[in-house]
Structure 1
Amino acid sequence: MTTVLPRKTRHTIKAGLFAFALAGFAWGISGSTATAQVTAFKQAVAEAASDNTDVSAFYRANGYDAIWTGSDKASLKRRQALLQALLDAPAHGLPDQTSMVAKLTDALKSVQTTRDLGRVEAALSKAFVTYAEDLKTGMLVPSKIDDGMVRKKADLDAEALFTGLMAEQPTAYMRNLAPDSPQYRALMREKQRLERLVQTGGWGPTVPAGKKQPGQKGAGVIALRNRLIAMGYLERSASGSYDSALEQAVQAFQTAHGLAADGVAGDSTLKEINISPNARLKSVIIAMERERWLTPERGDRHVLVNLTDFSARIMDHGEITFQTRSVIGKNTHDRRTPEFSDVMDHMVINPSWYVPRSIVTKEYLPKLKANPNAVSHIHVTDNKGRTVSRGAIDFSKYTARSFPFSMRQPPSKTNALGLVKFMFPNKYNIYLHDSPQKHLYPREVRAYSHGCIRLAEPFEFAYALLAKQSEEPKAFFDRILKSGNETRVNLETHVPVHLIYRTAFVPNKGPVEFRRDVYGRDAKVWAALERAGVVLPGVQG
């Protein structure tokens, strides 16, 4: 999307480019004067670039030669491509760079000496690196926003960045700095659509409170109908009743927003229907930033867990080949599931549950002090893993810090981990697993665990993983399961696992879908984006 600038700003930019083309005069002077000017230029570049490690390293490597400030056509094309890319930054949900462009063009227009030229050269490179980093790997540092957002962004390869700029057509190169993923491109299109919608009045009046269901009539039903028509879930109609067409439209909306698709517009459904286009636009811009954080090397086959969607998927070459519901960490500070990526290398069939230290001391030790036979299905073990008789322990004399024992639940159908767990070893002690608490999976919001991710269909998930290394994955799995023995099964091909948090995402087929900000993390991301200069269109939808 091209940003349309005021005439005065566009004139300033053009004037700066013209003046800059004339600034190549320094290189046309011969003899000792030219040598002195070249030296002055390089010194100015070195000084101006010294506060940016990447830019300084580039110029040291290229001998402080100009890449933007020459009078040749290649330099002109790079300048033009960079300035236009900066002007188009808001299309990517980045801050408006009009003032930066004006500052750079003013500097170009004001060049009087070769030292001036050197300073502008370095300024252009610094603007380029900042823009490229924001676009390729994101503006924000996740861990500085929320301690559960522990994802590490990819490091910017500045050397490759400059090499690509010098080797490729500049305009295309600038355009290709954005994440090369179908999801990012789809989010960008949705952003543009919502911006147009906001500017033309949004989805019209909100729907009044009060449950609405099939068979009803009245102003509230008409308001619901009109809102869904504006949103694209219902064909235009003059019907004033809650008929089957409206019921199906409500179901489609509910499915696209992670709600129970019962076709009844209750409180939770109406709350989502009445969310403004501006609020949805925020979710899309946040999702674009989050997409920039996620490594582009995701794996041809990978596991994708979207926490806000309470789902786990196996992705093969961009297509969903398996999907199941999940339960994530409870919305308390010590239980929220973190966001990160790692690699799954094995599963354990008939697992023991080695109770985390925090649960042992916070939950079980107080119970054991009150009753040594509490939680009797869990063994108390010493530092060598041997079961210790509870009768030999005076639990009352220990504190959370001094308690010297561990606890383990042996394999069983009632084990907290169920009958299989899937391991991608990480310092957060997070993994995917079965659970005996099957009653939680039909619920709309599924945030109940201590942090690990429970799967509604763990056996089928295992079969899908094992199908790559066994001709009869189900038979192989069931044979081990029936043995009752705790068994580690290595994955011959390791599978990347990405735990993400997206309140807006675009499926391979169908319109954009939205989810609730279950942990409040997106609200924090948006506040950080605003502090960084990201703004929405001024019209409220």
Structure 2
Amino acid sequence: MKKKVLFIIIIVLTLSLISFYRDRIENLTIDGTSLAQSQQNKSAFNIDKTAISSFFKQYPSLKKYQPDVTIIYKKRNFKSIWYNRTGLIEFADVLYTKANLLDEEGLNSRLPYKDKFDKLLYDKPINKLSQINTEIMLSTVYVFYAQKVFYGMDTKKIQETGWFIPRKNISYANLLDSLLVNPELLNRNENLVFDQYYKLRDVLKKYRQIEKEGGWNYIDSISQAEELKPNDSSKVIGQIRHWLTINGNLKRDSKLNIYDDEMMAGVLNFKKRNGFKVNYTITYRHIRQMNIPAEERIKTIMINMERCRWIDPKLANANEYVIINIPSFKLVYKKNGKKELESNVFLGQVITETAVFSANINSIVFSPYWNIPKSIIESELKVQMDNDKDYLTKHNIEWNNGNARQKPGINNSLGLVKFIFPNPNGIYLHDTPARNLFDMEYRTFSHGCINVQKAKELAIVILKDNPDWPIDKINNAMKGEKETTCMLKHKIPIHISYFTAWVNDSGEICFYNDIYLRDDHLVELLFSEDS
């Protein structure tokens, strides 16, 4: 009897274990997909190149996406992506909805054949695409969306705008794998998209709401000679107060026409956010900036979101880097994710624009010579020499193997330190004896190089962990007596960028003047029919 009971117990336990492990096997995950789901997917059909070719002949406006669609299917051995045993997967509907909401991503694009695809997907069965064409259509919509949102316009168009920072590469096939596992990456993917993009996207939503509510009223202008200061009273001040409130510089609108303490704080915030000299004086130029309509601000946000699409997020994730934003006239040095230094800069004049590109700082030169470019010798130096025979002596300039150079010293045009990052533009960072120029709001004075207000501080913070370069040695090297070069142990990436809209660390939108007039051209490209 005991043996019979034991036998029954063994049978029951065996059956229980079989059931348990069968459930476990059915729910095992492979790259985020359950084995059960995987089996469903295996039941889907094949896609051949002939079907793909036929689809794009039928929808020629989508033909430019054919190569990437083909690559996606090739990676998957031409198996279908968007179907399982029960029909279209849920992500197909999510993707199609997102592709029809590109305005939320700061884009002015529309899905080709949208009306037709809507009918084919959602109308009566008699109007539906074949399963194969629906499959290829969804893959095409995916590439269309991913290219628009995650990659941006093609490289040739980007370079037309004067942007030469190396852009990221995207594998649409690998990205699709990630999205199928985690569809939330469709909404936010900071491993693929520069995080400033998402900050601008949030602000875009706010400004569209402001526009929907009527934007802001026009502020009456004042003369170029007139200034508004604390304790002044006028209708214009009340208008400015209202504008400051709508744009987030003041928490409330007291509707007073007096320039009081509360408004002073709002004016300071406005000036910090818009690249103006920080004081309490309001001039016609500030009012002119405020009178830019919400519609134009929205366009500015959109084109700067586009610039964000071009940037590889890895650039901002480097352990150490320098970034300059031309329109804000600012340099930032970051190390280990922390801002170590921020400095004002001045840049190239409109006729000698500072280029937008990336490079690597490999050395710091203390008390440098200035090897005067031949273009400056021809256009400026020879004229000065004709007018003053002692000009070279007065400015500490000598001839060296047929080239002119200015000797080290406190009046050297490069100041007492320069930072070298080899590049085809011949641009570098350097100090300057013209300290007064940093007090100006629009600082475009150079021949293209970047003049740094805190150049010495930048050298000190870069060399902080280098025992061979203590502060005393840096001070001695910067006496202007002898050129001394410090080769860096590790190259430091430097990125010279161009953003006219930027969300700061406090989440506030900053707008900067388009000093080289590059926004208009980008607007034309971004809002063109084939963008």
- TM-score bracket, normalised by the shorter chain, equals 0.7 to 0.9
State the distance in 1 between where 2:382 and 2:412 align. 19
Residue 372 of structure 1 deviates from its aligned partner by: 7.2
Residue 321 of structure 1 deviates from its aligned partner by: 1.9
Residue 78 of structure 1 deviates from its aligned partner by: 3.5
Which sits farther off after the overlay, 312-321 or 359-368? Answer: 359-368
- Superposed, 1:144-155 pairs within 5 Å as 144=158, 146=160, 148-155=162-169
Aligned length: 473
* 1:340 match: secondary structure: strand
Is the alpha carbon distance of 1:454 and 1:110 closer, same or farther for their aligned partners in structure 2, counting shifts above 3 Å? farther
Residue 191 of structure 1 deviates from its aligned partner by: 0.4
Question: Is 1:303 matched with 2:322?
Answer: yes
Residue 455 of structure 1 deviates from its aligned partner by: 0.3
Contact 1:470 1:476 in 2 (8 A): no
1:298-321 CA-partner distances (Å, limit 9, x unpaired) = 113211101111111112344422
- Superposed, 1:187-336 pairs within 5 Å as 187-210=200-223, 211-234=227-250, 235-298=252-315, 299-332=318-351, 335-336=352-353
Aligned-residue CA RMSD in angstroms?
A: 3.2
Match of 1:134 in 2: 148
- Superposed, 1:57-456 pairs within 5 Å as 57-68=71-82, 70-72=83-85, 75-97=88-110, 100-108=113-121, 117-139=131-153, 141=155, 144=158, 146=160, 148-166=162-180, 168-169=181-182, 171-177=183-189, 179-210=192-223, 211-234=227-250, 235-298=252-315, 299-332=318-351, 335-365=352-382, 374-376=391-393, 377-382=396-401, 405-456=402-453
Is the alpha carbon distance of 1:47 and 1:361 closer, same or farther for their aligned partners in structure 2, counting shifts above 3 Å? farther
TM-score by length of 2: 0.80
State the distance in 1 between where 2:420 and 2:86 align. 55
Residue 194 of structure 1 deviates from its aligned partner by: 0.4
State the distance in 2 between where 1:99 and 1:42 align. 22
Point out where structure 2 has 5 or more consecutive residues left out of the alignment.
1-39, 57-62
Match of 2:68 in 1: 54
Contact 1:148 1:336 in 2 (8 A): no
Contact 2:409 2:416 in 1 (8 A): yes
Which sits farther off after the overlay, 518-527 or 186-195? Answer: 518-527
Contact 1:352 1:409 in 2 (8 A): yes
1:249-293 CA-partner distances (Å, limit 9, x unpaired) = 222212221112221211111111222222222221122111111
Residue 436 of structure 1 deviates from its aligned partner by: 1.3
* 1:323 match: secondary structure: strand
Contact 1:45 1:121 in 2 (8 A): no
1:189-240 CA-partner distances (Å, limit 9, x unpaired) = 1100000010001123423324322232232222223322333333332433
Is the alpha carbon distance of 1:147 and 1:194 closer, same or farther for their aligned partners in structure 2, counting shifts above 3 Å? closer
1:26-81 CA-partner distances (Å, limit 9, x unpaired) = x89xxxxxxxx968x5521255578633332333333322112x344685234223
* 1:192 match: secondary structure: helix
Contact 1:305 1:313 in 2 (8 A): yes
Contact 1:83 1:101 in 2 (8 A): no
TM-score by length of 1: 0.79
Is the alpha carbon distance of 1:533 and 1:125 closer, same or farther for their aligned partners in structure 2, counting shifts above 3 Å? same
1:430-469 CA-partner distances (Å, limit 9, x unpaired) = 1111111111011111010011100011100111111132
Give percent identity, aligned residues only.
24
Question: Is 1:486 matched with 2:483?
Answer: yes
Residue 104 of structure 1 deviates from its aligned partner by: 3.2
Residue 172 of structure 1 deviates from its aligned partner by: 1.7
Match of 1:522 in 2: 519
Match of 2:455 in 1: 458
Match of 2:52 in 1: 45
* 2:164 match: secondary structure: coil
Q: Which structure: larger Rg?
A: 2
Which sits farther off after the overlay, 51-60 or 268-277? Answer: 51-60
Residue 373 of structure 1 deviates from its aligned partner by: 6.0
AA partner of residue 239 (structure 2): A
Contact 2:221 2:284 in 1 (8 A): no
AA partner of residue 323 (structure 2): L
Point out where structure 1 has 5 or more consecutive residues left out of the alignment.
1-23, 29-36, 383-404, 535-541
